[in-house]
Amino acid sequence: MLSVEPDILTDLPWGQLLVNGLALGSLYALTAFGIVLIFKTTQVITFAQGETAMFSTFVAFTLLTVFQLPFAVAFALTLLFAGLFGALIERVVLRHISTTTILNPVIVTVGLSLILLGAAGWIWGYEIRTFPAPAAGPPFRIGTVVVSQLNAVIFAVTLALMGVLYAFFRYTRTGIAMRAVSQNRTAAQLMGISINRMNALGWGMGTAMGAVTGMLIAPLNYLDPGMMGDVALKAFAAAVVGGLTSLPGAVVGGLLLGIFDSVVGFQVPELRNTIAFSLIVLVLVVRPGGLLGKHEVKKV
Amino acid sequence: MTGPLLEITDLTIRFGGLVAVDGLDLRVNAGEIVGLIGPNGAGKTTVFNCISRFYQPDRGTIRFKGRDITSSRSHEIIRFGIARTFQNVELCRSMTALENLLVGQHVAMRGGVIRDGLRLPGVGADEARATQRADEMLELLGLTRDRDRVVSTLPFGLQKLVELGRALVSDPALLLLDEPTAGADKQEIQGLADLIRRMRDRFDLSVLVVEHDMSFVMGLCDRLSVLDFGRRIAEGAPADVRNDPAVIEAYLGEPEVEVTEV
Amino acid sequence: MARWLGTRGRAAAPYGLGLIAVLLIPALLNVIPGIAPGYVLYLVSLALIYAIVAIGLGILIGHTGQFSLGHAGFFAIGAYASALLTLRLGLPFVVALLVAGSVSAAIGFLLGLPALRLSGPYLAVATLGFGLAVPQLVIWQGSWTGGASGLHGLPLASLPLGAFTIVFRTDQDYYYLAAAVLIVLTIFARNVVTGHTGRAFVAIRDSEIAARAMGVDLVRYKTTAFALSALYAGIAGSLYAHLLHGISPEDFTVLLSIDFLTMIVLGGLGSVGGALSGALLLTFLQNALTRLPVVHDFKNLYIVVLGVILILTIAFFPQGLAGIARSARLRWATRTVDRPAGAGQIVELGERSGVR
């Protein structure tokens, strides 16, 4: 049978959409790492990850512009700030929250995100600023597909961090201790591991991860208190789809979501979030523990 | 009704590679108190969870009053006349003792959100009837003083009693008791045996009790079934079971490694 | 109504006082010099409408233990359903109100189905997505929903009563309408949570295992809780649309969902009276903050305050205002009457179970 209609599927710039999706997806994955890290050690799902990342990025921006520090120095100082900031959040807020109901940490981290959002708006305002890119230069071209240097850097950083964190949890004493805490708090405590210290460390590392994310995302879009809103939401989804405890799961979830976003966003931009969230609900209903996570059945 | 009240045939359930219960046959006749005993990890609680329909067995059937309940849903079980307690007490912790006993009468009361919201005629009478019944049960168990206390503030022993009351108030034909002696001292254990027998006579019950306290079940039960590694290794009157070489072996040779009881 | 008040005795006293206040507020406002009674009444009406949502959300989160970060979505569904029915189809307001509530309840029921498989934070993510999706769908279907610019010029709310029709023209009229709906829905909610259904809800929250073993059908009760709370949000949405005479998608942001959450956390989870007081307090707080002369950046201040309220309440008063009121009452009771030891643990039955 002859068809006169153009074939819609082959007419799409599939290669470019795929690359864009992977770039977008690595942002989601990168942000999701922080959420996974914090959940893995403290069993708290943070709704504040996007906002701590945004806040840290503003700190970096201040170091760069007000204090005129070189990028590498500002980057390092921001990581340090974020690490301490995360630990402080754990020490001052979360340690005092009763976890008898699962709602409490959710409510508290929602509260944290609001405070950070308002504080950033207060301190830095809502004017849109540009953040210097760590990698600028002509984009790579592969055939008709264009990859910006920044996107390539983001992709590389995502994979590298996944590797580093994987090794950290597997081979270092601290990493193993953190895993032990997440698996059995009482047993870990009996082994002499300080739960409080591990929780603070988890928050510190997770927030520092967020700072890295923020500093990579800001040059891509712009810098403003709302910059992480959409990304954080998708990152959240990526973490949940991936299974919340699995770093590779977060990458798989993030990349899938990114590609999906890029392809669907290309055709029905209005429904990007709607379709993405329907998909998440579907995944969770079929696999309540996420794609690569373990679903824990409560013992009777 | 002829035949046993509860009849389990060839019950088998696996968790991953572990066979938790393996081809178990078990009967409870009307009016009987049957003990299901065995070392830690023998699969006793798993049997309960299969009867309560929290777990789906891989093979076998569970019949109650002649009716196959192997594929019933967990919330239907109490309607058939099977009520249970839990090893670690599963109460509604924010509720008072009285309210827990009202939850125990959930299926006996007419529901409906519109009926409740509009306080349609009959709602008040239903509540009053259920409250009266709960009060009677509290009195019977000596809990009247604790009627309006939030159960999470009660000592463990009283919590177990409230849980027993909650099961009894549903007017079951079969009561499943999971480790009733857990956390109790010697004197309380003796009282508990008397109480269970009294309840059996008063409410015309059959009881299936999971225990590992041998002396408790020896004094209480009409018949014992001994499980080890998910398999039945002995069955019969307490005196016979006590002297069964396989049982002695299972208890003395209880492995050091504790298989997680699921 | 009388019977309800009669059987509730002292627990109902605050509600009786509230009822008197409701009737007297308009008169009082006219007496106080220097304020615009119309505007204040508009504000109170808004607070009453939010209180309806908060009560419904409280049943879902506080009693049943199911999370929702997307109730602005149900609120939007109610508002849009009502606006479309009156504006496009010319249906009377009352019909639109009821249909809006029902549509929202039906969607709540449907959302409750996947929610059966999700717990805690997973459910929070899913409902957050729902809350985001609704305004997006509204914009997407712009040809009949008015898209990003919204729907405006809604007809006045009216209520046909036999031969004649009450039309709610002034802010005061509208205030009485919102108050009447709120009163009816508050009584309904209290009856539900203090009765058989409410006990099943709390049983699910406390222990799903115990609830199942006692014969509570989780599917039925969880979806009921979702549908009921969506019904409340939908009815409130309808009232909102007609109070403002117009709506647009940006009225229904994630922040509004968080507002609703803050109301019930502040008021006290698991308490109808708490949800009510939390909603009133937060709406007035929000308005008071916009009036602070020193603050030119209201939005930032407001969200910081919201965040602080959420954290401080959970950290120091997990039972919220209702909990504070309860312990104050208990202290009063133990001071005046010589109660036996352990009286401090006696829970006010009227507050949650209603069993006497």
Mean per-residue pLDDT over chain B, rounded: 90
Domain boundaries defined on chain C: 38-253
3-state class (DSSP) for residue B249:
helix
Q: What is the pLDDT of residue B199?
A: 93
Q: What is the pLDDT of residue A2?
A: 44
Closest residue in B to C348 (Cα) is B148
Place of tokens 């019930």: C264
Q: Which domains does chain A have, with CATH numbers?
A: 13-286 (1.10.3470)
Specify the length of chain C in residues.
Answer: 356
The answer to whether A156 touches A23, Cβ cutoff 8 Å, is no
Task: ipTM value, please give it.
Answer: 0.91
A-chain CB neighbours of B52 within 8 Å are: 300
Q: What is the pLDDT of residue A12?
A: 67
Q: What is the pLDDT of residue B10?
A: 94
Option in B94, B98, B166 nearest C202 (CB): B94
Q: What is the pLDDT of residue A200?
A: 92
Other beta carbons within 10 angstroms of residue B122's beta carbon come to 10
Element (H, E) at B210: strand B206-211
A124 to chain C, any CB pair closer than 8 A? The answer is: no
B-chain CB neighbours of A300 within 8 Å are: 45, 49, 52, 54-55, 86, 262
- The 10 Å CB-count burial string (b at 16+, else e) for A90-100 is beebbeebeee
Counting as low any pLDDT under 50, the low residues of chain B are 255-262
Phi, psi of B227 (to 5 degrees): -105, 140
Query: Smallest Cα–Cα separation from B4: which of B61, B83, B73, B77?
Result: B61
pTM: 0.89
| A237·C69 Cβ contact <8 A | no
Closest residue in C to A95 (Cα) is C315
A-chain CB neighbours of B262 within 8 Å are: 299-300
Closest residue in C to B75 (Cα) is C215
| B54·A299 Cβ contact <8 A | no
CA distance, residue C117 to nearest chain A CA (Å)? 6
Q: Cβ contacts of residue B223 below 8 Å, gap of 6+?
A: B32, B33, B34, B35, B235, B236, B237, B238
Q: What is the pLDDT of residue A10?
A: 57
Q: What is the pLDDT of residue A1?
A: 42
B45 to chain A, any CB pair closer than 8 A? The answer is: yes
| A299·B86 Cβ contact <8 A | no
CA distance, residue C203 to nearest chain B CA (Å)? 6
Confidence tier at C294 by pLDDT (50, 70, 90): low
The span from the CA of C189 to the CA of C176, in Å, is 20
Q: What count of CB pairs under 8 Å joins B to C?
A: 128
pLDDT, one tens digit for every residue, chain A (300 residues) = 444 444 555 566 788 888 888 888 988 998 898 999 898 888 888 999 999 999 999 999 999 998 889 988 999 999 999 999 999 999 999 888 877 777 888 899 999 999 999 999 888 888 888 888 777 777 788 777 788 888 888 888 888 988 888 898 889 988 888 888 877 778 888 888 888 888 899 999 999 999 998 998 888 878 888 888 888 888 888 888 888 888 888 888 899 888 888 888 777 777 877 877 787 788 878 877 777 765 544 455
| B54·A300 Cβ contact <8 A | yes
pLDDT digits (tens, 9 = 90+) for B148-188: 999 999 999 999 999 999 999 999 999 999 999 888 888 88
A271 to chain C, any CB pair closer than 8 A? The answer is: yes
Q: What is the pLDDT of residue A95?
A: 87
